[in-house]
Chains A and B, each alone.
Chain A
Amino acid sequence: MKLVYFAWVRERIGVSEEDLALPPDVATVRDLLAWLRGRGEAYEAALRHPDVIRVAIDREHVDHGERLAGATEIALFPPMTGG
């Protein structure tokens, strides 16, 4: 699965994108955030407060309950501050 990160999520994890093989029991966005947090200190620092993390699947906003099946690109980022 291609994961892309932006803003302070990207800075804390330390890469802007990566390809990761997700375990089969990672079914939803919420599962993904919990699984990523267990991958090390950098991920823990980025995702310590998962409720604030915004997620897009294939470039559309989704809720944390959304299922990952069929996704090509998952983006994690902080609340947006454009405009």
Chain B
Amino acid sequence: MPVDPIVRIQADDFDLASEVSALTTGRGDIGAVVTFSGLCRDEAGTLSALELEHYPGMAEAEILRIARQAAERWPLTGLVAIHRHGKIRPGENIVLVVAASSHRQAAFEGASFLMDFLKTRAPFWKKEHRIDGTEGQWVDAKEVDDQAAARWESGKISDR
């Protein structure tokens, strides 16, 4: 029976240690926890903030769909994904994935899979706000992200 993933979409910040602790406290079956957090870069000092727009009805549902695929593919014992929206400044958190398993490989790969598909399928869009006050651009989608997601379908990475 695959683990039931927890997905949250929120404007507020999150705390890595609290999220890991909430997942592992009182559990004796977890041998590995992998966390990934994505932060806002300042783009060499030119960026004042990112505006994260999202599709409220779909963002949580889509990340949950991806998380459930991860939970079916790897023997995960816990899976949490949190994605923020709204204005986020350089150095602040944008996204968090916590994957737990008995052994590290499933936790590493489950977290990586979830992030790769979250990047290409979760309905979020970043707009840049510039320090010099000029009109910021919408961030372009990167082909490298599509390639990262595609590698999970090509059989290059084995399931465990």
A48: chain B residues within 8 A (beta carbon): none
- A36 within 8 Å of B (CB atoms): no
Q: State which of B52, B55, B138, B140 has its C-beta within 8 Å of the C-beta of A59.
A: B55
Q: How far is the CA of A20 from the CA of B14 in the complex (A)?
A: 40
Q: How far is the CA of A81 from the CA of B85 in the complex (A)?
A: 12
Name the residue on B nearest A59 (C-beta): B58
- Residues of B contacting A: mostly: mixed
Q: State which of B57, B83, B118, B125 has its C-beta within 8 Å of the C-beta of A77.
A: B125
Q: How far is the CA of A4 from the CA of B115 in the complex (A)?
A: 26
Q: State which of A4, A8, A75, A83 has its C-beta within 8 Å of the C-beta of B138.
A: A8
Residue count of chain A within 8 Å CB distance of chain B: 17
Interface pair B83/A7, CB less than 8 Å apart: no
B152: chain A residues within 8 A (beta carbon): none
- B17 within 8 Å of A (CB atoms): no
* A50 CB to nearest chain B CB (Å): 16
- A80 within 8 Å of B (CB atoms): yes
Q: Please encode chain B, from 99 to 141, with 1 for each CB lying within 8 Å of some chain A CB and 0 for all others.
A: 0000000000000000100111111111100000000001111
Q: Please encode chain B, from 23 to 51, with 1 for each CB lying within 8 Å of some chain A CB and 0 for all others.
A: 00000000000000010000000000000
Interface pair B53/A6, CB less than 8 Å apart: yes
Q: State which of A4, A56, A59, A79 has its C-beta within 8 Å of the C-beta of B141.
A: A79
* B122 CB to nearest chain A CB (Å): 5
- Between B52, B59, B62, B125, the greatest number of chain A beta carbons within 10 A of the residue's beta carbon is seen for B125
* CB proximity to B under 8 Å, residues A22-57: 56
Ordered by A's residue number, 8 sampled pairs between the chains whose C-beta atoms are within 8 Å are A7-B125, A60-B62, A73-B57, A75-B123, A80-B124, A80-B141, A81-B124, A83-B119
A-binding residues in B (CB < 8 A): 38, 52-55, 57-59, 61-62, 83, 94-95, 115, 118-127, 138-141
- Besides the contacts A80-B120, A81-B139, A82-B94, what 14 more A-B pairs have beta carbons closer than 8 Å? A6-B123, A60-B62, A77-B55, A79-B141, A80-B122, A81-B125, A81-B141, A82-B95, A82-B119, A83-B38, A83-B83, A83-B95, A83-B119, A83-B122
